[in-house]
Structure 1
């Protein structure tokens, strides 16, 4: 082997290293471009709205029609509370109303009689008044005639007696008339009481309906911790009902990835329980506040997203709520880990650029 060939063999080949560097740079650029054009995160989970199923009335459960983790449809029977106390309350209210309805005509007849009595008393007062006026006029005419001898002293005394008697009868008639008018009470109080009883009947009827609790929407029963015979209180949750009509994926994205995301931005999600099935969706809303965890006061009610690297400045993450199209009810569970990929559209980029300018 010649010296020239020996030197060429010993010279290191640099092109594989250069090719590796170029490929690495291209890969880095591709990753950066991909992250910029399609933000992706595995810090996500499945979410659905929930309510605590609470009865409107208190009592013992006599029929529990569901079991834990059961799927239900809107209107399905969930449980029944002993209806007897509310049935009895309804019966009492109806009986009281019937009794009052029977009492009102009797009272009305009594009132009518009292009214007639008052009218008769007024007539008696009028007659007594006329008699008293006549006696007074007679006495006034006779008094000047006694000096001329046209009337005797006995006639004058009889006239005075007649006047006093007429005035006494007038006072008695007036007293009776006042008593008769005071006795006319009317049925207004009974009519007002009837309105109260009618309201009690409607309330008892409503409470009886509340004793039967039905599903307000399609959902799934969870956290069922009761059984037949358990006493439940009004406004106290018996179990939780997941609203399965709408499923979401809450994706916690870095703040520097939010610029091109808008409500309506398309997304692709999949669950860690089955990574082979992809679901499409759209951004429903973007969070506008999280607990900053900077040592200051905690922002009550805000999402608490833990930063994983405390000694390096890490971009804050904000929850992005993605509405899932056609979710599989067999796979979606509340809190299931998920992966979300956002697909910002071109007009979102233009809108973001315009907002920044």
Structure 2
């Protein structure tokens, strides 16, 4: 039997198709392993600590010395509260100290005088004068504490940054009344940036503390570097709730045929940021941990 030219061409096409199908199957298998088990995720977020700024004392905002988007250093003045009332409170506290001091001296003199009249005045009178002296001493100590508090309130009228931060979403203006303890502005802590990578639970076996991480911000090809700090200890179970009447577990009886892997937050510290990269909390990032490439290139 002789092989014709048409037979050879047909055989070659079949072999080529089979080879391409095998290569495609291998590629799909490696891609499946990569996206299913490799320690990488495109579902990550750049995070930072947000510091709400509030005043210790209620009052009218007297001056604002920063602007929206401005970088501030720790201890830098942000804004001030009207000090007129606070200065008056300090003056009153100092006057109260003078009054308490005079009262204390008088009470101590009376206590010493009665103590020297042993046998002339009754013991009850001596005890009464001694108690009055102790009460006067307590009132004097209280007056000093009130004066120190008034000084603290006056100092805290100048609100300063507690961190190296960035002023964000800032709308505070002079003349606004600020309530004590109610935030009037926010700072993004520049020293607190980190990445939360949401990895499928099938990848957790390859993730451990200290593992080197490569980070890419969406829309930016420059590479950031970091390391794994830790893995979240718990996530919410959406299939289970508590029955209000019995306090027993109320598990939904439904079961979907396609079970998606749960995503577990992994905290990643940032070690190196290329110059010029803009860090904005909330940006989407892709995280690739060491060992992820082995799912694509298992022999390397």
TM-score norm. by structure 1 comes to 0.68
SS at match of 2:129: coil
Unmatched segments (≥5 aa) in structure 1: 123-176, 299-309, 346-357
Cα distance between partner residues in 2 of 1:341 and 1:182: 83
1:279 pairs with 224, 232, 236, which one? 224
SS at match of 1:269: strand
Unmatched segments (≥5 aa) in structure 2: 244-255, 293-300
In structure 2, the residue matched to 1:185 is 129
SS at match of 2:137: helix
Matched residue pairs, number? 275
Equivalent residues of 2:60, 2:175 under 8 A apart: yes
Cα distance between partner residues in 2 of 1:211 and 1:179: 51
SS at match of 1:51: strand
Alpha-carbon shift at residue 251 of structure 1 (Å) = 1.0
Cα distance between partner residues in 2 of 1:47 and 1:224: 19
Cα distance between partner residues in 2 of 1:203 and 1:56: 11
- Between structures 1 and 2, the one with greater helix share: 1
In structure 2, the residue matched to 1:50 is 50
- Between structures 1 and 2, the one with greater strand share: 2
1:251 pairs with 176, 181, 197, which one? 197
Offset from partner CA, 1:167-189 (integer Å, 9 cap, x none) = xxxxxxxxxx5599479724222
Equivalent residues of 1:261, 1:344 under 8 A apart: no
Cα distance between partner residues in 2 of 1:108 and 1:11: 120
Offset from partner CA, 1:290-342 (integer Å, 9 cap, x none) = 223226359xxxxxxxxxxx762111111111111133575111110111111
Equivalent residues of 1:273, 1:337 under 8 A apart: no
1:263 aligns with 2:262: no
TM-score norm. by structure 2 comes to 0.80
2:144 pairs with 198, 201, 209, which one? 198
Query: CA RMSD for the aligned pairs?
Result: 3.0
> Equivalent residues in 2 for 1:37-76 (5 A)?
38-76=38-76
2:239 pairs with 294, 310, 314, which one? 294
Alpha-carbon shift at residue 202 of structure 1 (Å) = 1.3
SS at match of 2:181: coil
For residues 82 and 8 of structure 1, do their structure 2 counterparts lie closer, same or farther at Cα, with a shift above 3 Å needed? Answer: same
